[in-house]
Amino acid sequence: MFKTLFRSLCVATVLALPVTQAPALAEAKTDFKVCWTIYAGWMPWGYLSDSGIMKKWADKYDINVEITQFNDYIESINQYTAGEFDACAMTNMDALSIPSGSGVDTTVLIAGDYSNGNDGLVLKEGADLASIKGQNINLVELSVSHYFLARALESVGLSEKDITVINTSDADMLAVYDNPEITAVATWNPMLSEILDTERGTLVFDSSQIPGEIIDAMMVNTATLADNPALGKALVGAWFEVITLMGSDTPEGTAALEAMAAASGTDLEGYKSQLASTALFYTPDDLLAFTNDPKLKDTMKFVATFLFDHGILGEGAQSAEFVGVEFPDGSVFGDANNVKLRFSNAFVEMAAKGEL
């Protein structure tokens, strides 16, 4: 996953931003800006822009939607948080820590997939997870890899005090792994696949063992969405048109997948391999089943606790419940008077009912 570049520096910068940099109030408008970065589950955003599918849905609702690809994941979130973009593709963890933790009320419009093996922990020394004790672990500090590591350690009765985290840029991960002194890494695809292809290490834990916890979503500014429901309808409509095409097993679907593969720097088989470890929701009903599952509340509690324990939940946070997270049933984890992250099913339900 292209998720976080020098995260420890970027988070500190974002949390220092005054909340006033993101508009507190939105207004009705017709022009919108959406951003995303390269990752298996987010490739549809590039394709629906390039193919004209986004324009078709935007025209239906008399709006304009400009979709921009960023090479730097955290920079895309920074720009969204600062109010430069109306929507941005990011994980649940990063949405809670950066925009929501900075006071920007954000809605999870489309929880498109979760990592189901795309994130992994590889050891050069030791054949099982328990043997990680005492080792240095190279990863992007305070990223989803760091969260993933914490959950892995917990599964065998260990904690971060039993290992040493070495902050490493995602861009450097492959080169670092070639160093004989490096014994363990936690990373995501496509770097994970390339590391495993070297056959110099053992995959001892992957994200399929914590299913549903690393969620890849399209987040939208809540006030903007409230004042401009056409944006939600157009994004959801375009998204599911592409997702349906991807799962269609037709020449058109194959062509779409090939275009996404090329855009992500791989071939069709390589992209399909990445999708195999990405739990993509191919129908609105599948997505709704995921977001309505009570397990989502436990996931966000895990995430909030991790962020608080590492000092990145938000300036002035006194507990893991500092930021309120609202779920589709209206319940809230955290401070009900400070709800800044909202899982909404409203527009996906319209898709499920054929009302878009």
Residue 69, pLDDT above cutoff 90 = yes
Domains, the chain, ordered by start: 7-114+214-352 (3.40.190.10), 119-209 (3.40.190.10)
Tell me the C-alpha distance between 66 and 142, whole Å.
30
Q: Point out which residues pair with 67 in neighbouring strands.
A: 34
CB atoms within 10 A of CB 13: 12
Give the lowest-confidence range in 14-23, 129-138, 309-318: 14-23
Query: If you average pLDDT over residues 198-220, what whole number do you get?
Result: 95
pLDDT at 112 over 60: yes
pLDDT of the residue at 23: 43
d(CA 266, CA 258): 9
Lowest mean pLDDT segment, chosen from 78-92, 306-320, 326-340? 306-320
* Cβ-contact 35, 76 below 8 angstroms: yes
Query: Average pLDDT of 330-351?
Result: 98
pTM of the predicted protein model: 0.87
Confidence of residue 25 (pLDDT cuts 50, 70, 90): low
pLDDT of amino acid 26 = 60
* pLDDT of the residue at 259: 98
Q: Is the confidence at residue 213, as pLDDT, over 60?
A: yes
pLDDT of 306 above 70: yes
Name the average pLDDT for the chain: 91
Q: Which two tokens stand for residue 75?
A: 């920079």
Q: How sure is the predictor about 314, in pLDDT bands with cuts at 50, 70 and 90?
A: confident
The whole-number average pLDDT for the span 125-130 is: 92
3-state secondary structure the chain: CCCCCCHHHHHHHHHCCCHHHCCCCCCCCCEEEEEEECCHHHHHHHHHHHCCHHHHHHHHCCCEEEEEEECCHHHHHHHHHCCCCCEEEEEHHHHHHHHHCCCCCEEEEEEEEEECCCEEEEECCCCCHHHHCCCEEEECCCCHHHHHHHHHHHHCCCCHHHCEEEECCHHHHHHHHCCCCCCEEEEECCHHHHHHHCCCCEEEEEHHHCCCCCEEEEEEEHHHHHHCHHHHHHHHHHHHHHHHHHCCCCHHHHHHHHHHHHHCCCCHHHHHHHHHCEEECCCHHHHHHHHHCCHHHHHHHHHHHHHHHCCCCCCCCCCCCCCEEECCCCCEECCCCCEEEEECCHHHHHHHCCCC
14 has a pLDDT exceeding 80: no
pLDDT tens per residue across span 227-272: 999 999 999 999 999 999 999 999 999 999 999 999 988 899 999 9
